[in-house]
Amino acid sequence: MRLLLISNSTNAGEAYLGWPRPHIQSFMQGTGVKDILFIPYAGVGLTTEGDQASFDRYEVRVQAVFSELGLNIRSIHHEPDPVGAVREAAAIAVGGGNTFYLVKRLQELGIMEAIRERVLQGAHYMGWSAGSNVACPSLRTTNDMPIVEPPSFHCMGLIPFQINPHYLDANPEGHGGETRQQRIEEFLIANREMKVAGLREATFLQLEGNRLSLGGSRPMRLFQFGQEPRELMPGDDLQFLMG
């Protein structure tokens, strides 16, 4: 498999998909693939004019960036046969937004399993934020509000561990709720066999065959039940996460 799982699309004060552009370009370089099937379903609320307008706007926004990288996208919401489009795709990109909304659409259209099968067959997969969440076994470590109820929390399971995108260490002044670490530790109490990768902003995980690596400018925080969280740095051996 080839996976590029990005924590966030945009850092504060930067252009959209600013920091990950060179990593997306590097991921696709040498593949011979220029056309990418885009999944926009997490992009609820880009406009108040309804899903179709939101997905159209999302497609235009992503295409503007990918065009600069010599890549073309076509959004799946135009396809009369979404499952067929997935089965023919050489590369798939899943955009960020609301993970619950994304999972609901993927499951109802029958393309969650179709994407998994296609990626296992060799299609290149990239996702950011919610698009990284759905590569995990479940959506249960998303930060998003459950604005809709999907049929199931099950996701693709392309990796055997969970990701928490946009991981934050800080406890903001005046905040009376749980920190991000506390929420993840609650998850681990209920799911003791699972590992959770806290992906900070401007970081990503890349899988090339059997080799998993951390990229970006910051460390990743790894959570396991009954153990103190530990920091993993770019260049560290992450193969144990795929066991």
CA distance 3 to 207: 5
CA distance 66 to 25: 9
Q: How far is CA 41 from CA 93, 220, 223, in A?
A: 11, 27, 29
The sheet that has 220-224: what strands, in order across it?
162-164, 195-198, 220-224, 230-232
Q: Which member of 56, 75, 77, 144 is catalytic? A: 144
SS3 14: coil
Relative to beta strand 91-94, strand 162-164 is unpaired
Look up 152 and say whether it is catalytic.
Answer: no
CA distance 154 to 137: 6
CA distance 222 to 225: 10
CA distance 147 to 170: 25
Per the document, the length of the chain is 243
Look up 144 and say whether it is catalytic.
Answer: yes
Q: Which member of 129, 138, 169, 213 is catalytic? A: 129
Q: Which residue in the block uniquely carries the two structure tokens 């997490």?
A: 42
CA distance 194 to 184: 11
Look up 77 and say whether it is catalytic.
Answer: no
Q: Which member of 51, 166, 213, 236 is catalytic? A: 166
- Residues known to be catalytic: 129, 144, 166
